[in-house]
Amino acid sequence: MFVVKQAILDHCLVCCDFRSQIHEWAKSPKAAANRKACEDSCRVKEKLAAASSPSLPSDWGETVRNAIETCTRVGTIHFLDELLCADGSKPKYKRIGQAGIREAGPQKDIKDIDFDNMDMIRIPQGEPDTHIVDKWDVRCENKNHILYFDVYHCLDPKPWAAPKGFSRPLRKIPFKKPNFPKMKK
């Protein structure tokens, strides 16, 4: 169990580190405080314990509602790099685009949304998660999968789990900075 907790903690801290280096967030007046809050949240024992033995829905990652929570798109790529297909091969993946809002909820006035820090705001229990979800094409040799990710969850360690059809072995993976495709104008 210690190895799982350490993997969860390492993954969480790597995501905090990369989040703090993203240009828009690095220059934010809240950058240092957000990084510390992210790292402190990763180390909470109860949260690590909950992430170590998660209770996940059977369609985790396969629906917008049960999207895999990550910290930024970098966290999503880190997660995908850790997956193995059923045959043990590495999947190929590509972001398709936005899949829509995770849960319907009251619309906020655009002036009330803190876009620079929305991934650092914990959603109160019982309130809808109105984040926009990303849709990814994840291809194994013999099967294509569509997986959904909510990239606005930088607080709290994430479960060490894999969606149906994949495994996520415990091993050290050298993290590489992702090559995001150029945006079309």
Is residue 136 within 8 A of residue 80, CB to CB? The reply is yes
pLDDT reported for residue 93: 97
Query: Does residue 174 sit within a domain?
Result: no
Query: Does residue 184 sit within a domain?
Result: no
pLDDT reported for residue 65: 93
Query: Does residue 185 sit within a domain?
Result: no
Domain range for 93 = 2-167
Helices (H), the chain: 2-21, 23-26, 31-42, 45-52, 72-82
Residue closest to 66 by CA, chosen among 139, 147, 137 = 147
Q: Work out how many domains the chain is built from and give that number.
A: 1
Residue 5 to residue 30: CA distance in whole angstroms: 28
Query: Does residue 172 sit within a domain?
Result: no
Is residue 170 within 8 A of residue 160, CB to CB? The reply is yes
Q: How many CB atoms neighbour CB 168 within 10 A?
A: 15
pLDDT in tens, the chain (185 residues): 557 777 777 777 777 776 666 655 666 777 777 778 778 877 777 777 777 777 899 999 999 999 999 888 888 998 999 999 999 999 999 999 999 888 877 665 545 555 555 556 667 778 888 888 999 999 999 899 999 999 888 777 788 899 999 998 876 544 444 444 444 44
Contacts (Cβ under 8 Å, ≥6 apart) of 169: 82, 84
Query: Does residue 176 sit within a domain?
Result: no
pTM of the predicted structure, to 2 decimals: 0.75
pLDDT reported for residue 52: 73
Q: Is 2 helix (H, G, I), strand (E, B) or coil?
A: helix
User: Can you spell out the DSSP letters for 109-145?
Assistant: PGGG--GGGGGGSPPPTTS----EEEEEEEE-SS-EE
